[in-house]
Amino acid sequence: MSQAPALPSAVEAAAEIRAGRLSSEKLVRSCLERIAQREPEVQAWAWIDAEQALAQARARDRETPRSPLHGIPVGIKDVIDTCDMPTGYGSPIYANHQPAADAACVAQIRELGGVILGKAVSTEFATRHPNKTRNPHRLTQTPGGSSSGSAAAVADGMVPLALGTQTSSSVIRPAAYCGVVGYKPSFGLINRAGMKFLSESLDTIGVLSRTVADAALLATQLAGIPWTPPGAAMARPPRIAVCRTPYWAAADASVQSSLIETAARLKAAGAALVELELPAMFAGMNHLQVAISAYEFYRALSHERIRHPDLLSASLSARIAAGGRVSRAEYEAALVDTARCRAWIADAFAGFDLIIAPSAPSEAPELSNTGEPTFGLMWTLLQLPCLTLPCGTGATGLPLGLQVIAAAGCDPDLYAGAGWIEHQLAR
């Protein structure tokens, strides 16, 4: 990875813009310069128009700041509609497709004074078939999926903020592989109108950023949650549950040791730690997620599988076909089992504030695949807010992540607790 420019964080840039010490145009130019330098190698963008981005920035500079997001450039994953930019959903079926309207979250960013920098690469319909993007830390490795372009662009200093989406582990995993913050909110926190649906009960719009505060800045503005600038100390260190999950054996040695060593560091810093042993019913949660999502994929992609089967990848075609074999009775039974697990974990949070767990089974694998979603499936199915933090490196020197999870609907608690952990990891 070449040396990234000194791009300010979104929170820092917002403060400078409000104070009149930084223009949106200057900030956007620095992003575009980095893109011009690195995009031929990283290939993070599906569509970008420098003059259009600069025109937005100049318009913002002529205005009184509308919000803390005013003048800040944001990348948009290419499964989220934009009325003035093509949206291809990572598929040749939608080459040069131009939506008539912005997705709700894009319209909100414009309303808040943000700058839509461009469309970041997505895998095919936000599934697991790789697209062109490479990991900026090592170009032979995957950036993860499906929010591959968003994670790579943020990691390489091309943009301070980007939207991603998650149905299984599509924000958490690429953030871990690329060494950035990835935040999947509580289910439904950010409105999903205008994104390409795969799974109506799982799809979640999330944020890729370089800091917890930056992720919180964008999410709170979109969700209508009061924005609390960073720096407010927690009343006490958090109570943290260490959860190896039923899939601990899938994690390689560097991931396992990272979680154990990080837990010890947090305990030494004052956190109260407990071990969280999940009951046996959680061992099947990943299978439940696959069954539920496959059933919903089959129906959500009906047009594509019926009208354009020749333009679907073999891997996605196989997943769609598998969804067609999940019966309604099996689907409803999986929902019942899921509800039971959600109720158990909601009660368990009475004993702690946060859970920490692995973000991914390993460092980023090679480009031929986007990596395994093992450590995202369960938490996504539980509809909990999750955030991954950069947490050292693995055996080959690539980034590792630490996943931090809060109770459903407690996203501000996640910002505070993950921010505290972020501070400890930086010491």
Q: What's the token pair of residue 34?
A: 């980095």
Q: What's the token pair of residue 155?
A: 């990691």
At 105, which amino acid appears? C
Do the beta carbons of residue 30 and residue 12 sit within 8 Å? no
Do the beta carbons of residue 122 and residue 163 sit within 8 Å? no
Neighbour tally for 22: CB within 10 Å: 18
Q: What's the token pair of residue 164?
A: 């991603």
CA distance 274 to 352: 8
Task: Output the furthest CA–CA distance in the chain (Å, rounded).
Answer: 60
Q: What's the token pair of residue 391?
A: 């947490």
CA distance 352 to 236: 13
Listing DSSP states for 257-309 in one string gives HHHHHHHHHHHHTT-EEEE-PPPGGGGGHHHHHHHHHHHHHHHHTHHHHHH-G
The residues with which 274 forms a beta bridge, in sequence order, are 241
Residue that the structure tokens 């490196």 belong to: 393
Report the catalytic residues. 77, 146, 170
CB proximity list for 12: less than 8 A, separation 6 or greater: none
Residue that the structure tokens 């919000």 belong to: 67
Do the beta carbons of residue 144 and residue 177 sit within 8 Å? yes
Report CA 375 to chain centroid distance, whole Å: 14
Do the beta carbons of residue 278 and residue 247 sit within 8 Å? no
